[in-house]
């Protein structure tokens, strides 16, 4: 039986990447040891690091105006690092609250800078219109504007970009590399690796070099963007095995045809699942169509008393980790880049069968 893992994070990695890692586990590049056992300053590891950055730059079309950093501490580490690096005295940082993760970023930022929050998740009319960046009531000046284009828990994705003279910071932990974006519309993009890149703990930061001269606040050296850029992400020992896996994921993505090709697959995968849910009287998703996440699909059974049975039987069928986040309940299927379309088909088949048996 095929097993499909719908975990929101840490999430499944491409099978081909895991198989390659398995093959190389005891002997990487003929060295007779694992890549995690060698010095990060060895020529072999430095070649890996440089290649991975080149591949990511190619995949996302990142210009030389940006530094690419491989850091510690996952997405939440960046919740602290962003204000520590971008704080400006006597200016406010603006946090757009579109869901649970962006609100979490705001809570952390308040420890390090003067931050205000703008709530755009009020969906009084059930239309989610306030999620449209153009309609956000942004002040004319800010140290930076932070938002989260994909709310992993709420299943909300914001496709339009924010335009403002202040630096735009985006938490792309759960949708980086899932669709084409114009990096030039952002000043800082960060992502915890565990959804679309590799193992948890690693974080990728794509930051405009012009921002590196900001003094910010006192901060731990390992969170200092300017220092990490100067040291090529090797101020201290980087998470080398995670970096290796991320590098393999980038190679895998290139072999898939890059971000444009994976975006088409992601559209197809998400449509298949949302169409099924919309056409059912048994399941529902309440997010307005224009703002539905292609990566995280929360759904609810109309009869919640069947939740336990749904989870037990789906697990039996090899469909893992469908339980919704504890803050919103219901179910959630996370369908990142590594989820093959066959996984969606298997899920829809199961949901159909479950509906027939329980309606
Ligand atoms: C998962 C996630 C995070 C937190 O990532 P960690 O690696 O657990 O720190 C932050 N933001 C978003 C949008 C996420 O999905």
The answer, yes or no, to whether any atom of ligand 1 lies below 6 A from the CB of 192, is yes
Query: Active site includes 28?
Result: no
Q: How many Cβ atoms sit within 10 Å of the Cβ of residue 341?
A: 13
Q: Is pLDDT of 103 > 80? A: yes
CA separation for the pair 288, 22 (Å, rounded): 42
Q: Is pLDDT of 195 > 70? A: yes
CA separation for the pair 246, 196 (Å, rounded): 9
CA separation for the pair 276, 254 (Å, rounded): 30
Q: Is pLDDT of 128 > 90? A: no
Pairing of strands 115-119, 93-97: parallel
Q: How many Cβ atoms sit within 10 Å of the Cβ of residue 78?
A: 27
- Average pLDDT of the residues of the chain: 96
Q: Is pLDDT of 152 > 80? A: yes
b vs e for 310-335, b when ≥16 Cβ sit within 10 Å of the residue's Cβ? bbebbeebebebbbbbeeeebbbbbb
Which tokens belong to 239? 């998470």
Query: Active site includes 345?
Result: no
Q: What is the mean pLDDT of residues 318-322?
A: 98
* Residues 152/95, Cβ–Cβ less than 8 Å: no
CA separation for the pair 107, 110 (Å, rounded): 6
Query: Active site includes 64?
Result: no
How much is the pTM? 0.97
| Ligand 1 atom closest to residue 203's alpha carbon, by position in its atom list | 7
Which tokens belong to 327? 């803050």
Q: How far is the CA of 192 from the centre of ligand 1 (A)?
A: 6
Query: Choosing from 55, 154, 171, 187, which is the catalytic residue?
Result: 171
């Amino acid at each position: 039986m095929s097993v499909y893992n719908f975990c929101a994070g840490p999430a499944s990695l491409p099978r081909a990447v895991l198989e390659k890692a398995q093959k190389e586990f005891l002997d990487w590049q003929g060295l007779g040891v694992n890549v995690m056992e060698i010095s990060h300053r060895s020529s072999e590891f430095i070649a890996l690091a440089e290649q991975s950055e080149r591949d990511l730059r190619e995949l996302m079309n990142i210009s030389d105006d940006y530094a690419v950093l491989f850091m510690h501490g996952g997405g939440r580490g960046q919740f602290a690092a962003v204000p520590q690096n971008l704080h400006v005295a006597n200016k406010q940082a603006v946090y757009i609250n579109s869901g649970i993760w962006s609100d979490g970023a705001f809570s952390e930022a308040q420890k390090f800078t003067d931050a205000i929050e703008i709530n755009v998740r009020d969906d009084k009319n059930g239309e989610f219109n306030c999620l449209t960046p153009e309609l956000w009531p942004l002040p004319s000046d800010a140290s930076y504007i932070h938002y989260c284009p994909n709310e992993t828990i709420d299943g909300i994705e914001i496709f339009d970009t924010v335009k403002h003279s202040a630096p735009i910071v985006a938490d792309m932990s759960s949708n980086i590399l899932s669709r084409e974006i114009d990096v030039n519309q952002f000043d800082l993009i960060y992502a915890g690796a565990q959804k679309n890149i590799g193992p948890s703990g690693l974080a990728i930061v794509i930051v405009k070099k012009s921002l590196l001269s900001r003094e910010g606040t006192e901060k731990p050296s390992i969170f200092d963007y300017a220092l990490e850029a100067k040291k090529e992400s090797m101020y201290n020992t980087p998470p080398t095995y995670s970096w290796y896996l991320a590098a393999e994921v980038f190679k895998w993505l290139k072999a898939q045809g890059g971000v444009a090709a994976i975006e088409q697959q992601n559209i197809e995968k998400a449509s298949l699942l949302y169409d099924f849910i919309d056409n059912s009287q048994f399941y529902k998703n309440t997010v307005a169509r224009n703002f539905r996440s292609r990566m995280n699909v929360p759904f609810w059974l109309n009869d919640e008393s069947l939740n336990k049975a749904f989870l037990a039987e789906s697990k039996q069928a090899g469909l893992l980790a469908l339980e919704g986040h504890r803050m919103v309940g219901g179910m959630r299927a996370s369908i990142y880049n590594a989820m093959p379309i066959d996984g969606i088909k298997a899920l829809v088949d199961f949901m159909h069968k479950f509906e027939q048996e329980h309606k």
